[in-house]
Chain A
Amino acid sequence: DQQVKQNSPSLSVQEGRISILNCDYTNSMFDYFLWYKKYPAEGPTFLISISSIKDKNEDGRFTVFLNKSAKHLSLHIVPSQPGDSAVYFCAASGNTGFQKLVFGTGTRLLVSP
């Protein structure tokens, strides 16, 4: 049951460039989307979120775009920094009461100096 998919297992970007991480979902009941960053042996750290009533949310270097018709969201990091190297998870929750998160499989981002 892959309701949330991250089709790129890894991404390599040079420092200063833009990183674009993609996520697709299949469940039209999802209405809240989040990106988490995770280092090895640590818990997911919340980065940024977006509600389905918006198509863009920006926080510093991080911008999340949501295309509801395509059931697609993306996370843009600009400029990328070596400290951004981590695994990035897309997660979604639905408007059905208590909000369990459904996670994607993650994309490992490597930002090289």
Chain B
Amino acid sequence: EPEVTQTPSHQVTQMGQEVILRCVPISNHLYFYWYRQILGQKVEFLVSFYNNEISEKSEIFDDQFSVERPDGSNFTLKIRSTKLEDSAMYFCASSEEASGSTDTQYFGPGTRLTVL
């Protein structure tokens, strides 16, 4: 069964460093998302992406964050200058459509980002 994959599974970085989290969405999906979950809190939407551009972003997704689909398979989240409060699980998701019954979002296993 097709699945969303994410690398790395765990990333440790120093505050102020740049990190890139990578995702390979399900191959026939057209809509891509990033969410995060800070320990003990709910899963929060960060950004959605379609047709090579951001379609919606939350207030969490400030200028430190960017997303890119550099080729036909990868979808990346870059954090330019990490802060301690960026420590969280980051989940990538993809969906076939954006509305109706086929808009179910399928999630990857997540990348645990630890900022020291």
Which residues of A approach B to under 8 Å, CB–CB?
32, 34, 36, 41-46, 49, 51, 89, 91, 93, 95, 97-106
Contacts and interface: CB of A to CB of B under 8 A. Distances in A.
A105 B100 CA distance: 24
Contact of A42 (B56, B93, B99, B110): B110
Interface of B: 4, 6, 31, 33, 35, 41-45, 48, 50, 55-56, 58, 91, 93, 95, 98-101, 103-110, 112
A85 to B, nearest CB: 19
A93 B97 CA distance: 13
Contacts of B110: 41-43
Given A41-B112, A101-B93, 12 more contacts: A32-B103, A41-B109, A42-B109, A43-B6, A43-B108, A45-B107, A46-B106, A97-B55, A98-B55, A99-B95, A99-B99, A101-B35
B52 to A, nearest CB: 14
Contacts, number: 72
Nearest to A42: B109
Contact of B103 (A42, A93, A104, A105): A93
A104 B91 contact: no
Given A95-B99, A97-B55, A46 B104 contact: yes
Contacts of B103: 32, 93, 99
13 contacts: A32-B100, A32-B103, A41-B110, A42-B110, A43-B108, A46-B105, A89-B42, A98-B50, A99-B48, A99-B99, A100-B48, A105-B42, A106-B42
Contacts of B105: 34, 46, 99, 101
Given A34-B104, A98-B48, A103 B98 contact: no
Contacts of B109: 41-43
